[in-house]
Amino acid sequence: MSGRSDTTSEIYYKLGFKQYAKGVGMIVDEQIDLKYAQENGQIIGYRVIGSGTRKIKKIIAYGK
């Protein structure tokens, strides 16, 4: 399931998704925020990443 998506910008790439398991709830939450490299206001190459973050929250155990 996609929680957020903005992949249309020439400069930014933002994507987020979550996974759920029946009887458990959310098991994965991943958020990606990238900024493509630029020089003098122009993008360098094709999808060359200048900076960004990737955050993953994942359940590692479940039970009582």
Measured CA to CA, the distance from residue 29 to residue 51 in angstroms comes to 21
Model pTM score: 0.67
Measured CA to CA, the distance from residue 1 to residue 59 in angstroms comes to 17
Measured CA to CA, the distance from residue 2 to residue 5 in angstroms comes to 7
Reported as a pLDDT band with limits 50, 70 and 90, residue 9 is: low
CB 51 within 8 A of CB 33: no
**Angstrom distances, CA of residue 19 to CA of 8, 24, 32, 36, 63:** 23, 11, 15, 27, 18
pLDDT score, position 8: 60
Distance of CA 43 to the CA centre of its chain: 20
